[in-house]
Structure 1
Amino acid sequence: MLKTIDSFISEMASNAWGLPLLILLVGGGVGLLFYIRFLPFRYLGHAISVLRGTYDDEKDVGEISHFQALTTALSATIGMGNVAGVAVAISIGGPGAVFWMWVSAVIGMSTKFFTGTLAVLYRGKDDKGDVQGGPMYVIMEGLGKRWKPLAIIFSTAGLVGALPVFNVNQLTQALNDIVVKPLGIYTGFQSNLVIGIVLCIITGIVILGGISRISKTASKIVPAMVVLYVIMIFIILGNNIAELPKYFSLIFTDAFSANFYKGDVFLGGVVGGLILLGIRRGAFSNEAGIGTAPMAHGAAKTNEPIREGLVAMLGPAIDTLIICTLTALAILVTGVWQETSDSGVSLTVNAFEAGILSYGKYALLLCIVVFSVSSLFSYSYYGTKCMAFLFGTKYKNLYNYIYLGSIIVGATTSLSMMINLIDTFFAIMAIPTMLSTFILAPKVKEAAITYFNTLKN
């Protein structure tokens, strides 16, 4: 029965991530980049100033600061997509997959500038009169009520896309590989169930407190986890410094030869398959164009939409260009990607163990726990926003209990089923997000020109 379900979900994911979606995300992102003539990229320094709170004003509309909005979004994106998602990409596609993840990130920066700006530019109100942001409100406020079916499609897909099943699945696998099995207490389903229950309790304590508690928690642990993870990777790279130039070069050359690609062909060839794999894993990692992050950025305390767009743009740079790249290099230089059939988090565990000797895997476990648990907090917020839009705010807390229940599912099922499930619903979420972004792009360009001209004066 489970094999049949797994096969069905895998087929759904393959169909969802076909040529039309690739054109929508990649072609659309490139189109937006040229449409605004790379303008936001000239103001990265200003974006950092906004992030540091230079322009914060307590009188502005919103619930959380620019920094809290970014860290809330990053606590969802800097998670198992960086640790396990990159490993999945390399195990299937080889070093060349990393290059196409980079391409996805640069394009994603452009997309996130637009979606982050729109999240503030077209904020709406829920049935309690509270200001809310996200693609569903952008559609309603920016395009009008006749476009409501598009908003409903996004929110319905978001109920599933926000479930934490992939993160929980990989955290459970990491705990089993590093702690439970070496201690000789692994009992299969029972062990996974216990881990799931513990995660339910920890997550419930935070998420039942709402966005304020989620953002405060994320703003404290996300920067710390990034610094710790980067230090660990630098130790691995330092211990394998002689291998670094070779593999860095191989990322570029293999991107167009696909010599190590083991997946399905796309557009008639293995290079096409590799491109699709890299874009798919890049989108899973930074979520540009999917529509999740705008729900966090829409809660930012600001009256200047462009400022939040600039802050949102930093997300893919931090997430994919920095964190994913470091993870990939650690896996490549240690050689574990060619020495084992392991995939997902197990491959990354092997890299840390090989790169920092026996204690490396325990250091990684600490990072994984923080990455995964922080992701659990943010995704619950996204799901409750979708629930409130569809059924009203009085039902939004009901989603948290569904969410907590899904943690048990994620802990006790297979990796392939969980990653394909989320991939499928991310693909559905991307359609309303990108279509509304294209239609409202002139409004963003107009606001950007006005804002940047003001800066010059």
Structure 2
Amino acid sequence: MESFLVAFSDAAWGLPLLLLLMGGGTFFMLYSRFLPFRYLGHSLDVLRGKYDDPDDPGDINHFEALSSALAATVGMGNISGVAVAITVGGPGVLFWMWVSAFVGMATKFFTCSLAVMYRGKDSNGHVEGGPMYVIIEGLGKKWMPLSIFFAIAGLFGALPIFTANQLTQVIREVVLVPNGIGFTDPFYSDLSIGLVLVLITSLVIFGGIKRIGHVAGKMVPGMVLLYMAAVFYIMAANYTSIPGAFALIFTDAFTAEAMLGGAVGAIIIAGARRAAFSNEAGIGTASMMHGAAKTDEPIREGLVAMLGPLIDTLVVCTLTGVAIIVTGTWDDSGANGVSVTAAAFNDAMPGFGSYILVLCVLIFAFTSLFSYSYYGTKCFGFLFGAKYKYYYNYFYVFTIVLGATASITAVISLIDGMYAMMAIPTMTSALLLSPKVMAAAKDYFRRMREFRESEKLKV
């Protein structure tokens, strides 16, 4: 099974998908004339609630929507996913993650604007957003097979198995084993951890999107600041290695001498693959969360959503990558996944660094576990009816146990492959409907200019 999943993932992440994600994102950036980057200030105003209206349609405010989306994206992909990418593809992978993040900001602007622009209704008549609704509301009922394709892939792409796997690994290797705690058979140790994760996750996810949004809004800012502080300490402790680390990132991005047989194309794919896993630009998951925002202005939500790749990849992933490179733990052939990042923390902060990482991992992982369940329930409700969607959560928490006891190779290959499948309908619909977004953007910013001018006249 593991070899099949690896083959499926490698085939899915071939050149065609790279062109769709990176090429599509580049098109969005140029077509919008770099609009997402020109209105960063306005996006921050929207985020801090300047334009919030409690009477607008939706379930959660702009800040909660971004926090909930970040709760899923700023997770194990930033800690373990980056480590996997660098150990497999070399430090140059980080450069291509940056490139993916820049084009991903434009992609998020388009896909999440569409998620509000073309919201549909589930079988209970509740307003919903996401690629499956964008496709049928924006492109028409004849495109229904593409919506179904996305929803099926989303059922598996949103599973918590990678997060559960890496959280279990860090608890076992950093907390239990060094302190002589655990079972004779590692399987039972992992199973026990998995069951505890199930219990904690269940307490939140069965409360629905409003509870998820409330919890994420409280936890996400703190978790990002804590992680940033820890990594800045690591960088300060290894400040002499920082120039060399960045030099290695840039040179390895184009020479790729050490890894993957020197194939620069493979390095680019590895970077785009891990960036997509981390910030989800073009995948469609974040569109489902932003589609639940309380607003009747699609462009506002697109502007808020574009901050996701900036925070997730350009900030958090970069911090992880630099910490791994300056400490040299990426070159340890005996480590994998989150163990590489743990080694970097322990190298800079002997005796307690790995415990700080455990605390960060716990917060990162649980916020991801909470948010991903929402994506799966939306896909399940779209396929089988809204009144049945919460049954997905029982399957969801069951797979936490599977993820805790499975191998990292099988787990990451399954999620990678399903992300690739989700990207096809998400990017296809966004590219076809991009003129609608630009027309709405021109109208929105015209109205904003007129509003500011009228406010000046009043003064």
The TM-score normalised by the length of structure 1 is 0.97
Q: Give the SS at the match of 2:191.
A: helix
Q: Who is 2:344 aligned against? A: 351
**Of the candidates 198, 204, 207, which is equivalent to residue 202 of structure 2?**
204
Q: Who is 2:408 aligned against? A: 415
**Of the candidates 188, 193, 196, which is equivalent to residue 195 of structure 1?**
193
Farther-moved stretch of structure 1 (332-341 vs 224-233): 332-341
Matches within 5 A, 1:36-435: 36-187=32-183, 188-261=186-259, 263=260, 270-435=263-428
Contact 2:36 2:105 in 1 (8 A): no
- CA drift at 1:419: 0.2
Rounded to whole Å, the distance in 1 between the matches of 2:331 and 2:375 is 38
Gaps in structure 2 of 5+ consecutive residues: 451-459
- CA drift at 1:59: 1.1
Rounded to whole Å, the distance in 2 between the matches of 1:82 and 1:23 is 23
**1:402-446 Cα shifts (integer Å, max 9, x gaps):** 000000000000000000000010000000000100110000000
Rounded to whole Å, the distance in 2 between the matches of 1:217 and 1:64 is 12
Rounded to whole Å, the distance in 2 between the matches of 1:197 and 1:328 is 31
- CA drift at 1:155: 0.3
Q: Give the SS at the match of 1:156.
A: helix
Q: Who is 1:8 aligned against? A: 4
- What amino acid maps onto 1:290 in structure 2? I
- What amino acid maps onto 1:230 in structure 2? M
Farther-moved stretch of structure 1 (178-187 vs 96-105): 178-187
- CA drift at 1:40: 2.1
Rounded to whole Å, the distance in 1 between the matches of 2:258 and 2:267 is 9
Rounded to whole Å, the distance in 1 between the matches of 2:18 and 2:226 is 34
Q: Give the SS at the match of 2:85.
A: helix
Rounded to whole Å, the distance in 1 between the matches of 2:47 and 2:330 is 37
Gaps in structure 1 of 5+ consecutive residues: none
Q: Give the SS at the match of 2:295.
A: coil
Q: Who is 2:454 aligned against? A: none
- CA drift at 1:184: 1.9
**Identity in percent:** 59
- What amino acid maps onto 1:78 in structure 2? V
Rounded to whole Å, the distance in 2 between the matches of 1:334 and 1:454 is 51
Q: Who is 2:456 aligned against? A: none
Rounded to whole Å, the distance in 2 between the matches of 1:249 and 1:320 is 19
- What amino acid maps onto 2:252 in structure 1? D
**1:318-352 Cα shifts (integer Å, max 9, x gaps):** 00000000000111111112244312100000000
**Of the candidates 445, 449, 457, which is equivalent to residue 452 of structure 1?**
445
- What amino acid maps onto 1:259 in structure 2? E
- What amino acid maps onto 1:214 in structure 2? I
**1:371-404 Cα shifts (integer Å, max 9, x gaps):** 0011000000000000000000111111000000
- CA drift at 1:9: 0.4
- Quick one: structure 1 residues 162 and 339, their matched pair in 2 at CA, closer, same or farther if it must change by over 3 Å? closer
- What amino acid maps onto 1:167 in structure 2? T
- Quick one: structure 1 residues 109 and 369, their matched pair in 2 at CA, closer, same or farther if it must change by over 3 Å? same
Contact 2:124 2:387 in 1 (8 A): no
Rounded to whole Å, the distance in 2 between the matches of 1:340 and 1:413 is 21
- CA drift at 1:357: 1.6
- What amino acid maps onto 1:226 in structure 2? V
**1:89-112 Cα shifts (integer Å, max 9, x gaps):** 110111101000001100100100
- CA drift at 1:163: 0.3
Q: Who is 2:455 aligned against? A: none
- What amino acid maps onto 1:425 in structure 2? M
Contact 2:43 2:303 in 1 (8 A): yes
- CA drift at 1:186: 2.9
Aligned length: 448
Contact 2:130 2:289 in 1 (8 A): yes
Rounded to whole Å, the distance in 1 between the matches of 2:32 and 2:53 is 28
Rounded to whole Å, the distance in 2 between the matches of 1:186 and 1:194 is 10
Aligned-residue CA RMSD (Å): 0.9
Farther-moved stretch of structure 1 (247-256 vs 219-228): 247-256
Rounded to whole Å, the distance in 2 between the matches of 1:369 and 1:52 is 27
